[in-house]
Amino acid sequence: MRILLISHSFNGLTQRLCCELVTRGHEISIEFDIADAVSEEAVALFRPDLIIAPFLKRAIPESIWSRHCCLIVHPGPVGDRGPSALDWAIQGGAKEWGVTVLQAEAEMDAGPVWASATFPMRSARKASIYRSEVTEAAVQAVIATVNRKNEPNFKPARVPGQAHALMKQADRAIDWQTETSAAILAKLNAADGFPGVADELFGQPCHLFDAWPEASLKGDPGSLLGRRETAICRATADGSVWIGHVKPAGGIKLPTTLAFTEAAELPELPLDGGYWKSPTPTWQDIAYEEAGGVGFLSFEFYNGAMSTGQCRRLTEAFQWATTRPTKVIVLRGGSDFWSNGIHLNTIEAAESPADESWANINAIDDLAEAILRCETQLTVAAVGGNAGAGGCFLARAADFVWLRDGVMLNPHYKNMGNLYGSEFWTYLLPPRVGDEGAKAIMRHRLPMTAPEAVKLGFYDACLPGPAFAVDVARRAAELASAPDFPEKLAAKQAKRRADEATKPLAAYRAEELAEMRRNFYGFDPSYHVARYHFVSRSAHSWTPRHLARHRDLDWKVPA
């Protein structure tokens, strides 16, 4: 089928649906929902058999839904209608939730239902549930819908429903004096990553994001108890919670201590166990565990963005992990994202974004180099969350890359104002996919599924989603206990030395950074402009040509 995706943006869910439909042989084109006339033009050019709207912020115009079958992906179970669906579910403590694919009609989300899927709710942030459970359920329901489109006897069912209102800040407001940590966490989770909860810190208005539970710290409700690295801890009626990120009024989302310099006055609350994973809930972005000769290093960095400071701390943690008596180190990344490369928000907020970009790319390269030069353990990148740009190549610095089936990968840099990229991609990519393959990946700017990445030879294994963590631990333990472990380690060391003799890592790095220097400091401001729009979440004013295939110059309107 020829399927047009009309979406507010090419978000993770839209990327995944696009890849899944292409894999099943459908012809896909994408148009961003910018204006009714633009969508109408896209429909006229592409002449789709079906229109799917994975992620919309407003209704499809009647001029389209009255003439074409338009299917809306609604992040709520059958009968749920209206905006803020997930927000209400999380804040209200729903035990089960779902996704419904329904036909667009005049009344929002009230059209006949084509397919649906449900999932048990997890206590997590909205953005996390959306990227994980909602995305999986949406894939299931959309595939069922597309199959049903060809079933002549299938009739979508009309179901009664209840529409809820848009959740307002008044519904999200926190009373720090009376509310418990659990209730406050539910409110903060329901609002993450957009719009956040409107509140005040240091007497200044801001929106709160990135909440973490805390098991032991207590104080006067509402008071600020202290800080740890980039987060601050605030007392509730029965304990406290950590706030990792804020968006000050008129500003961009930033780590809390960076947004409010006043936080420097708060007492530092260090973790007792260093890198070891705390046995009780608290704020800990880098956490280490060990089992069966394997060290597991998690880095739960908000949105997978890795600032200069985070890269340096993670490099130190990695180097410390290499001194442990283990045979394998598993780099687990975070639960939603493994890594999305350098931290574009902290760069934007810096006095000199060019200097901060330079510091950040050098810090992430130092981390990649530490992984590449590790001689004491075999290393595994266990990519359980999505990865983008430099994050994809940072993962490849490990000896093995194992992916959770379902993650989306964007192993290219060009979408960020034609960045050249670093993280040793010129060393890591060509041996695996060839020079032409490397150029094609970089040029195409398109997302890739886990099975595609493994098929290309870029990564090593794709493991089933639900048992990913268990499978990774088992496979890593097998690597560590394998009788041929010493030979494998020796082979790795020999290969590194041979590669170094052919062309030193320093040479790859210098070549990549020479290009990056031009991106950061050169005449062409594309990267700075693209970064500004990205961190400001500017609305799209057109759909990039690599997505809107119906706008290709050689596109022929189907007969």
Using the rule CB under 6 A, is 519 a contact of ligand COA? no
CB 69 within 8 A of CB 51: yes
Q: Residue from 91, 303, 308, 449 that binds ligand COA (CB under 6 A)?
A: 303
Does position 30 bind ligand COA by CB under 6 A? no
Q: Is 416 in the site for ligand COA (CB under 6 A)?
A: yes
Of 25-33, 265-273, 299-307, 500-508, the window that binds ligand COA (rule: CB under 6 A) is 299-307
Phi, psi torsion values for 205, nearest 5 degrees = -70, 145
Residues 520-559, mask of contacts with ligand COA (x by CB under 6 A): -----------------x----------------------
Q: How far is the CB of 518 from ligand COA (least distance, A)?
A: 15
CB of 541 to ligand COA, least distance (A): 17
- Count residues binding ligand COA (CB under 6 A): 24
Nearer to ligand COA, 17 or 378 (CB): 17
User: Which of 246, 389, 395, 462 touches ligand COA (CB under 6 A)?
Assistant: 389
Q: Which of 413, 424, 459, 468 binds ligand COA (CB under 6 A)?
A: 413
Smallest distance from the beta carbon of 223 to ligand COA, in angstroms?
A: 27
Residue ranges in 194-233 that form contacts with ligand COA under rule CB under 6 A? 194
Is position 384 an interface residue for ligand COA (rule: CB under 6 A)?
no
Q: Does 305 bind ligand COA (CB under 6 A)?
A: yes
Cis status, amide bond into 195, omega within 30 of 0? yes
Q: CB-wise, 235 or 305, nearer to ligand COA?
A: 305
Helix then strand count (H, E) for the chain reads 20, 24
Residue from 39, 410, 519, 543 touching ligand COA (CB under 6 A): that is 410
CA-based nearest residue to 38, from 540, 446, 445, 533: 540
- Supply the minimum distance, in Å, between the C-beta of residue 450 and ligand COA: 14
The window from 106-114, 298-306, 319-327, 448-456 that contacts ligand COA (CB under 6 A) reads 298-306
Q: Which amino acid is at 298?
A: S
For residue 221, the 8-state DSSP code is: T
> Which is it for strands 204-214 and 448-449: parallel, antiparallel or unpaired?
unpaired
Nearer to ligand COA, 256 or 377 (CB): 256
CA 85 centroid distance within chain: 21
In one-letter notation, the amino acid at residue 124 is A
How far is 345 from 523, CA to CA, in rounded Å? 22
Place of tokens 């050019």: 45
As measured in angstroms, the least distance from the Cβ of 204 to ligand COA is: 20
DSSP assignment of 368-430:
HHHHHT--SSEEEEEE-SEEETHHHHHHHTSSEEEEETT-EEE---TTTTT----TTHHHHSH
Residue 518 or 537: which CB sits closer to ligand COA?
Answer: 537
For residue 52, what are the CA distances in angstroms to 66, 83, 102, 132, 145?
14, 18, 10, 20, 10
Whether 342 and 357 have beta carbons less than 8 Å apart is answered as yes
Cβ-contact 118, 137 below 8 angstroms: yes
Alpha-carbon distance of 206 to 199, in angstroms, equals 6
Tell me the C-alpha to C-alpha distance, in Å, between residue 246 and each of 88, 98, 209, 224, 259. Answer: 22, 29, 6, 15, 7
Site string for ligand COA, 339-358 (x = CB under 6 A): -xxxxxx-------------
Which residue from 390, 404, 433, 453 is in contact with ligand COA, where contact means CB under 6 A? 390
The only residue of 11, 180, 322, 362 in contact with ligand COA, by rule CB under 6 A = 11
Residue in the structure block whose two tokens are 């709520």: 76
Nearer to ligand COA, 81 or 404 (CB): 404
Which residues contribute to the site for ligand COA (CB under 6 A)?
A: 11-12, 193-194, 253, 303-305, 340-345, 386, 388-390, 410, 413, 415-416, 419, 537
